[in-house]
Amino acid sequence: MQTTSLGTPTTSAIVFFLLIVVVALYITYWAAKRTRTAKQFYAAGRTVSGLQNGLALAGDYMSAASFLGIAGLVSLKGYDGMIYATGWLVGWPALMFLIAEPLRNLGKYTFADVVAFRLRQTPVRIAAAIGGVLTVLTYTIAQMVGAGDLIKLMFGIPYWAAVLIVGGVMLVYVLFGGMIATTWVQIVKAVLLLGGVTVLMLMALSQFGFSPGALYGAVAEKYGQTALEPGGLVTSSWDAVSLGLALMFGLLGLPHILMRFYTVPDAKAARKSVLYATGFIGYFYIIIPIVGFAASVLVGRDVITKVAKSGNMAAPLLAELLGGTPFLGFIAAVAFATILAVVSGLTLAGASSLSHDIYLNVVKHGSATEQQQVRVAKISTVIFGILAVLLGILFQGQNVAFMVGLTFAVACSANFPALLLSIVWKKFTTAGAVCSILVGAFLSILLIILSPTVWVDILKHKEAIFPMKNPAIISMTASFLVGWLASLVTHEGTAEAMFEDEKLRTYLGVGAES
Amino acid sequence: MRSVHETLESHEFKSLVSRRWKISIGLTLALFVIYYGYIVLIALDKSFMAKKIGVVTTLGIPLGVAVIVFSWVLTAIYVSWGNSTYDPEVAVLKDQVTK
C-alpha cells in the first residue's frame, strides 16, 4: 500500500502554499493603488479583457469541490462521475444566450441593478438582496466547510485554523484590492489549476502509453466493465430533469458569476468572456474524469477511501504517486488557491449586495459620495468575511452536501426568473418581481428541507415529504408563474414607459455603464 | 436623423431583436436536446450507453465528452453570429440615435 505524506505539512507543500499567499498579497499591493473608486472596487474599473474575464469566470466556477470531488467520484463510482461533470457545464451556453449581454448593458455592479432598472427601487432591491445574499451564503457555507476539511486533510492543520487562514488571507486581498485583486487572483488560480490538472493527466496517461483505451482497459480489468457504464446516479428521469434545470439556470442566478460581467468594457467583451470560460471549464471537465479513472487503477479504490471516505483525495494521492511529495505539495497548494479564490468572489458579491443594493439604493436612496460608497463596501466586506469564517466554524462536521443543491435551487428560482422577466417583458411590475423572488427563494428552501437530502439524510425521518432531491422544476416554475400573475393584476405605468429606454440599452448598449 | 422612438419602432430594430431572440431560443433548445437527450438516454436505456465501441470503451464515454464539446460549439455559433451580424447592425442603429 502507498504510504502518503498527505496530512503532514511537508516542506514542498508549505513552500508552494506560502508562494501562493505571497503572490496573492503582491497582487493586492499592486491592485490597492488602483482601487480608489466604487467602480474600481466593485468592477475593476471595467477594464478587464474578454480573455482575462473568461479565465476569472472559470476560476470562480471551478471550485475545489469540482476538482477534487469529481475526480474522487469517478475514481470510486466510475462512469457516474462523468455524468455529474457534464451537468456542471451546461449552464454556460444558457448564460450566454439569455443573460450575458443584456446584463452587461443594463447593470452597474449587481444583478439587482437590472431587475430594478424600471421598477420601484426599495422593494425590488430588498427582495433581490434577500435572493442574492441567500445564494451567496449557502454557497459560502459549502465552500468553507469543504475548505476546512480539505486543508485539514492535506496540511494536517486543525479545522478552525484552516477556516481562519482562508478567511483571513481572502479578507485582506478583497478588502484592499477589491475586484482588481480578486480578478487577478482568480486568473492565477485558473491558470494554476488548468495547468496542474493537465500535467497530472499527462503523467497519468503516460503510464498507459498515452492511450485512453488502455486506461479504460485497466479500469475494466480491475473493477469490471460496470465501471465504464452508467450506474445508479441517474435513475428517476424527473429527478434528473429537475437537477439539470437547477444546474443550467442556477448559474444564471449566481451573484458572484453575474457580477463579473460588469468588469468588462462592453457587451462584446462579455460575449467573448463566456466563450473563453466555457472552453476552459469544458476542457477541465473533460480531463478530470481521466484523472479519476487513473487514480482508481494506479492508487486503488481501497487506498483512496482509506484516506478519505468521500474519495476527495483521489487526485492528490495520484499526484503523489506519480510526482512524489513535491508534486503533491503543488497540487495541495493549488487546491488551497482554488478555495481562496472562490470564497473571495463570493465575499465580494455578498458585500456588494449589502452595500450597493441595501445601503446605497435603499438607505441612501441612491445618493452617496464616492468615499462613502467605498467605505461602506469595505465595511460590508469585513462583515461578510467574518460571517464566512463564523459560519464555517459553526457548520464544522455537518453534512453540507445539500447546500450546493440549495444554492443552485435558490439561484434558479429566486434570482433568474426576475432577471429574465425584467429584461424581456414590458409589463413586468414591482409586485411581480418581489413576489417572484420571494416565492422562488422560500419555496426552494422549504422543498429542500422536506426533500430526501435533508428530511431523510440529516433529520433522519423515514420518508421524505417531497420526493425530489432538487426542487428546481417546481420552485422555478412557481416563481415564473407568480411573477407573471402578480404583474398581470398590478399595473405600473412608469415601468412600461421606461421600457423603451431599457430596450435601447439592452440591445444597442446606448447609455450602458462605461 | 430619427428619434429614439422612431428607431425602436423601425423595421430594422424590430427585426434585429426578433432575430436575436430566435437564435438565442433556438440555441437554448438545442442545448436542452443535447443535455437532456444524454440524461434521458441514461435514465431510460442504460444498455445503449453500455454498448462497447472499443475493446472495453463504452459508447457512454464519447457521448459524455460530446455533450461538453457541443455545448461549447453552440456558444461559438452564437459568438460568430454576434460578431458577424449583430454587432454591425447595432453599430448602424446606434449611429441613428446618438448622432
Mean pLDDT computed over A260-272: 95
Q: Check if A238 contacts B (Cβ < 8 Å).
A: no
Answer whether residue B95 shows pLDDT above 90: no
> Burial code of A8-37, b = ≥16 C-beta within 10 A, e = fewer?
eebebbeebbeebbebbbebbeebbebbee
Q: What is d(CA A201, CA A219) in angstroms, rounded to the nearest whole number?
A: 15
Share of chain A above pLDDT 70, in %: 99
pLDDT for A340 equals 87
For A72-124, how does the pLDDT look when each residue is reduced to its tens digit (9 = 90+)? 999 999 998 888 889 899 999 999 999 999 999 999 999 999 999 999 999 99
Substitution target from A229, A241, A252 for chain B, most B beta carbons within 10 A: A229
Of all residues in chain A, the one with the smallest CA distance to B45 is A230
Mean pLDDT computed over A379-406: 88
Instruction: Please indicate whether, in this complex, the C-beta atoms of A213 and B55 are within 8 angstroms of each other.
Output: yes
Of all residues in chain B, the one with the smallest CA distance to A220 is B56
Substitution target from A90, A216, A425 for chain B, most B beta carbons within 10 A: A90
Question: Is residue B93 very low, low, confident or very high in pLDDT (cuts 50, 70, 90)?
Answer: very high
Mean pLDDT computed over A467-491: 95
pLDDT for A150 equals 80
For A281-295, how does the pLDDT look when each residue is reduced to its tens digit (9 = 90+)? 999 999 999 999 999
Instruction: Please indicate whether, in this complex, the C-beta atoms of A503 and B17 are within 8 angstroms of each other.
Output: yes
Size of interface A-B (CB pairs under 8 A): 152
Instruction: Look up the ipTM and state it.
Output: 0.95
Distance from CA of B11 to the nearest CA of A (A): 14
Task: Considering only the beta carbons, identify the residue of A97, A282, A504 that sits closest to B24.
Answer: A97
Q: Check if A235 contacts B (Cβ < 8 Å).
A: yes
Instruction: Residue A87: name the closest of A68, A50, A61 by CA.
Output: A61
Q: Say if CB A154 and CB A416 are below 8 A apart.
A: no
Give chain A's length: 514
For A421-463, how does the pLDDT look when each residue is reduced to its tens digit (9 = 90+)? 999 999 999 999 999 999 999 999 999 999 988 898 888 899 8
A489's CB contacts (< 8 A; 6+ apart) are: A431
Distance from CA of A422 to the nearest CA of B (A): 15
Distance from CA of A212 to the nearest CA of B (A): 9
Which A-chain residues 97-156 have CB contacts (< 8 A) with chain B?
97-98, 101
Instruction: Please indicate whether, in this complex, the C-beta atoms of B31 and A503 are within 8 angstroms of each other.
Output: no
A18's CB contacts (< 8 A; 6+ apart) are: none
> Burial level of A425, CB count in 10 A (0-12/13-18/19+)?
middle
pLDDT for A290 equals 96
Max avg pLDDT among A218-227, A231-240, B25-34: B25-34
Task: Choose between A201 and A149: higher pLDDT.
Answer: A201
Mean pLDDT computed over A211-240: 87
Instruction: Please indicate whether, in this complex, the C-beta atoms of A82 and B60 are within 8 angstroms of each other.
Output: yes
Handedness of CA A510, A511, A512, B4 (dihedral sign): negative
Distance from CA of A94 to the nearest CA of B (A): 6
For A59-84, how does the pLDDT look when each residue is reduced to its tens digit (9 = 90+)? 999 988 788 889 999 999 999 888 88
Measured between beta carbons, the chain B residues lying within 8 angstroms of A235 are 43
Phi-psi region of A181 (alpha: psi -120 to 50; beta: other; left: phi over 0): alpha
Task: Considering only the beta carbons, identify the residue of A272, A274, A500 that sits closest to B5.
Answer: A500
Instruction: Residue A435: name the closest of A103, A106, A123 by CA.
Output: A123
Helical axes A314-352 vs A121-155, angle rounded to 10°: 150
Q: Check if A286 contacts B (Cβ < 8 Å).
A: yes
* Locus of grid cell 481572502: A170
Instruction: Please indicate whether, in this complex, the C-beta atoms of A220 and B40 are within 8 angstroms of each other.
Output: no
